[in-house]
Amino acid sequence: MPEGDTIFRAARTLNRALAGRTVARFESVYPALTRIDHQAPIAGRVVEAVSSRGKHMLMAFSGDLILHTHMRMHGSWHIYRPGERWRAPSHDMRIVIGTDAYVAVAFNVPVAEFLTRAELARHTQIQALGPDLAAASFDRDEVRRRLADRRDEPIHDVLLNQQVLSGIGNVLKSEALFVARINPFTLVRDIDDPTLDRLIDVSLRLMKMNITDTVISPAGPGRRTTGSLDPTARLFVYGRSGKPCRSCGTPIESRKTGVDARLTCWCPKCQA
Ligand SMILES: [Zn+2]
| Tens of pLDDT, residues 198-242 | 999 999 999 988 887 544 444 445 678 888 878 788 899 999 999
Is 268 a known active-site residue? no
Split at pLDDT 50, 70, 90, the class of 139 is: very high
Is 221 a known active-site residue? no
Is 173 a known active-site residue? no
The reported pLDDT for the residue numbered 12 is 92
Q: Other CB atoms closer than 10 Å to residue 110's CB: what's the count?
A: 14
DSSP for 15-82 reads HHHHTTPBP-EEEES-HHHHHHHHHS-STT-BEEEEEEETTEEEEEETTTEEEEEE-TTT-EEEEE-T
**CA 241 to centroid of ligand 1, rounded, Å:** 12
**CA 157 to centroid of ligand 1, rounded, Å:** 21
pLDDT average, residue stretch 147-157: 95
Is 48 a known active-site residue? no
**CA 248 to centroid of ligand 1, rounded, Å:** 4
| Tens of pLDDT, residues 87-136 | 999 999 999 999 999 999 999 999 999 999 999 999 999 999 999 998 88
pLDDT average, residue stretch 18-40: 97
- Specify the pTM: 0.85
**CA 249 to centroid of ligand 1, rounded, Å:** 6
